[in-house]
């Protein structure tokens, strides 16, 4: 039983990595089952032996990225009360919007069938962006609870503002990702009204 499970994980990881390379190199419109299996160096039938169809494969690829966001959110919450709020958020937003994540968001918004499948599986909003927003909101709530944000700071307003602004910064594929200082300026500007007493 175990060898089969290991083999399945290896195939999934190989196919996901290939899909990410195609996304980064050629964009969402170039992502097909043939492009993925060619990139992975395997027969097209390999993908369909492990996934019901290509949208099922893409949905699992996205869930894999969502799981990474969840782990990042846990690390962010664990950092509450240490360092600076702005420093933690600057780093987290840079990690959240790595080039693959930005490409995956573009993929989600470009495929109606994929969005429908994700909604049927319980996703709300735009997957990845929704989970990133929830992770940032949970962190901000923790910092507010520790007195490092103003008592009236609203994580449910601040989080989508930060995630939306960061996504716009990172979404320009032509210019490349922004530097950390550009992200920090956005974070400090959004947080300034809530951090006047203690500094971000």
Mean pLDDT within 32-37: 94
What was the pLDDT predicted at 6?
Answer: 40
**Which helix (H) or strand (E) is 135 found in, with range?**
helix 129-145
Tell me the per-residue pLDDT of 37-67, one tens digit each, with 9 for 90 and over: 999 998 888 898 889 889 999 999 999 999 9
Residue 173 pLDDT exceeds 80: no
Choice among 2-6, 74-78, 83-87, 151-155 with the minimum mean pLDDT: 2-6
What was the pLDDT predicted at 164?
Answer: 94
63-194, what's its fold? Tetracycline Repressor; domain 2 (1.10.357)
1-50 is classed in which CATH architecture?
Orthogonal Bundle (1.10)
Tell me the per-residue pLDDT of 74-103, one tens digit each, with 9 for 90 and over: 999 999 999 999 999 999 999 999 999 999
Nearest Cα to Cα of residue 120 among 59, 64, 69: 59
Residue 82 phi, psi dihedral angles, 5° rounding? -115, 165
What was the pLDDT predicted at 30?
Answer: 93
What was the pLDDT predicted at 193?
Answer: 78
Sign of the alpha-carbon dihedral angle for 171, 160, 191, 101: negative
List, in sequence order, the alpha helices (H) in 44-84. 44-50, 54-78
For 193, residues 6+ apart whose C-beta sits below 8 A from its C-beta are 150
Tell me the per-residue pLDDT of 107-143, one tens digit each, with 9 for 90 and over: 998 888 888 888 888 788 888 899 999 999 999 999 9
CATH 1.10.10 in the chain: give the residue spans: 1-50
What was the pLDDT predicted at 11?
Answer: 86
CATH 1.10.357 in the chain: give the residue spans: 63-194
**Which helix (H) or strand (E) is 182 found in, with range?**
helix 180-191
């Amino acid at each position: 039983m175990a060898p089969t499970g290991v083999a399945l994980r290896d195939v999934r990881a190989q196919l996901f990595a290939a899909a990410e390379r195609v996304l980064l190199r050629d964009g969402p419109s170039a992502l097909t089952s043939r492009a993925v299996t060619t990139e992975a160096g395997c027969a097209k039938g390999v993908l369909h032996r492990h996934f019901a169809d290509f949208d099922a494969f893409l949905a699992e690829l996205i869930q894999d990225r969502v799981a990474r966001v969840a782990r990042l959110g846990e690390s962010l919450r664990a950092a509450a009360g240490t360092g600076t709020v702005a420093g933690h958020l600057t780093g987290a937003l840079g990690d959240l919007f790595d080039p693959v994540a930005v490409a995956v968001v573009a993929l989600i918004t470009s495929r109606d069938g994929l969005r429908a499948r994700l909604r049927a599986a319980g996703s709300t909003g735009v997957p990845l962006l929704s989970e990133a927003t929830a992770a940032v909101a949970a962190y901000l709530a923790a910092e507010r609870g520790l007195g490092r944000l103003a008592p009236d700071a609203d994580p449910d307003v601040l989080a989508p503002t930060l995630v939306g602004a960061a996504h716009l910064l990172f979404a320009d594929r032509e210019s490349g990702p922004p530097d950390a200082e550009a992200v920090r300026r956005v974070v400090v500007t959004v947080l300034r009204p809530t951090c006047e007493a203690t500094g971000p």
